[in-house]
Amino acid sequence: MVTKIKADICVIGAGSGGLSVAAGAAQLGAKTVLVERGEMGGDCLNSGCVPSKALIAAAKHAYDMMDGERFGIARTKPKIDFAKVNAHVRGVIEAIAPNDSVERFEGLGVTVIKGDAHFRDRRSLMVGTTEIRARRFVVATGSRAAIPPLPGLDTVPYLTNETIFDLTECPAHLIIIGGGPIGMEMAQAHRRLGAKVTVIDAAVPLAKDDPELTAIVINQLMREGIEILDHTRIASVAGDETLGNQVGAISVTLENGDVIHGSHLLVAAGRAPSVIGLGLEKADVQYSLYGVNVDDSLKTSNKRIYAIGDVIGGLQFTHVAGYHAGLVIRSALFRIPAKVDYANIPWVTFTDPEIAHVGETEEQARARYKKINVLRWQFAENDRAQTMRRTEGHIKIITDMHSRILGCTIVGPEAGELILPWVLAKSRGIRLSAMAGLVAPYPTLSEVSKRVAGSYYTPTLFSARTRALVRFLRIFG
């Protein structure tokens, strides 16, 4: 027997974007159905942002114990119980999970259905023996680890972000394919927890950010003992599962003939949108392996169906999925025209030091404008950073010739926390003069923002003309 459900809105995928749509729609009085085949909370809660940042926090504590001599504190080699580190990661997930649980959403009035979903036609969806007909559908199925077509990879055990947080023993030698944010974050975290780490990237690590600033991070990781092989291609991968976790279980042969032996292999070579098995073609929804095709309002080729988050490709961040969710609520429920604008979307790579960015890089800005201004302020010039002995890195601001902010990149301690004022300034068209005129509490890291903005006006303020004006005004007493 087929059970039929009618709804105002049906959301496929209980990740961050899908949950936001479902919660908002239900609380606004719309009859809402949420379909999820796996764990509530999706990738972010279970195998992405949350566990990775929990692991990074544990690794930082371990590293700080070995880095106290500059404060007059004897270096202490930490005794790391990797199983307890794993328990810490699991504990963080469990603490957050109730916010994303079936019980919470059913309490909000959402009908939650667990199972695989596929479209039957343009207006209906099947989940097992349940047929859902809705006025609007939202595809929010996220993404999965992209697996490169390397010879031999399909014959060896390898980790992805979905499995690496299941480890209860520290890898003896972790080989990482891919030097993007996930790869570099996991490289540093595992190195600090005791693993030998090698990162292999076919191009350059952290390629989407300003190379001037990513060089600071890469150099720090290398100082910590991480081997980073850039512009390096892999010829093949081999291994023997009978060796278990012993060194030599994985061997990676490079195109130059070198062979790297490791105990574990992590594939962190990007993300692939989860579009297979949804029956999108039956719903007349156009898509490819790069994601579901959407217009500026996030509607698919079937205007009753929206797609949000990682499944549409592009900027694959949790906060972008949340941004998409807000636009869909406005469009689907309030019929208010809403268009995506990615010009002011920030992102953070949670290495140590962190990289935070919004807007254009220097290279992008020079390609668009004849003249730009590039402003920098070193953390070494910040008193709070000096007290913390965290003086690496700097803030870099790109403006046009009218002091309009085009982009900002920060590399340094707490960069992810320091980027927000620049997101606000750029998105609201706030000029540098406003940032320069702020009174920043002393001593704080946030003073770097005031100082870099003030540096724009320094040449004018202390120019020969200004000094002449001061001398002239002295005539009047």
Any domain includes 471 = no
pLDDT at 459: 79
First to last CA, the chain: 96
Contact of 43 with 161, CB cutoff 8 Å: yes
pLDDT at 247: 58
Any domain includes 447 = yes
Cα–Cα dist 253/260, whole Å? 6
**One domain, residues 139 and 202:** no
Domain assignment of residue 445, given as a range:
353-461
**One domain, residues 15 and 129:** yes
**One domain, residues 243 and 279:** no
CATH number at residue 365: 3.30.390.30
Any domain includes 474 = no
pLDDT at 460: 77
pLDDT at 467: 78
pLDDT at 279: 97
pLDDT at 463: 77
pLDDT at 475: 86
Q: What angle do CA 417, 420, 426 make, to 5 degrees?
A: 155
pLDDT at 347: 98
Q: What are phi and psi of 282, to 5 degrees?
A: -70, -25
User: Which parts of the chain register pLDDT below 70?
Assistant: 241-248
pLDDT at 248: 67
**One domain, residues 244 and 393:** no
**One domain, residues 19 and 141:** yes
CATH number at residue 82: 3.50.50.60
**One domain, residues 384 and 449:** yes
Any domain includes 477 = no
pLDDT at 246: 62
**One domain, residues 19 and 127:** yes
**One domain, residues 197 and 116:** no
**One domain, residues 14 and 134:** yes
pTM: 0.94
**One domain, residues 15 and 94:** yes
Any domain includes 470 = no
Any domain includes 98 = yes
pLDDT at 388: 96
Any domain includes 476 = no
* pLDDT tens for each residue of 315-356: 999 999 999 999 999 999 999 999 999 999 999 999 999 999
**One domain, residues 99 and 183:** no
Final residue of a structural domain among 270, 296, 323: 270
**One domain, residues 399 and 321:** no
The backbone region for 195, taken as left when phi is positive above 0, alpha when psi lies in -120 to 50, beta otherwise, is beta
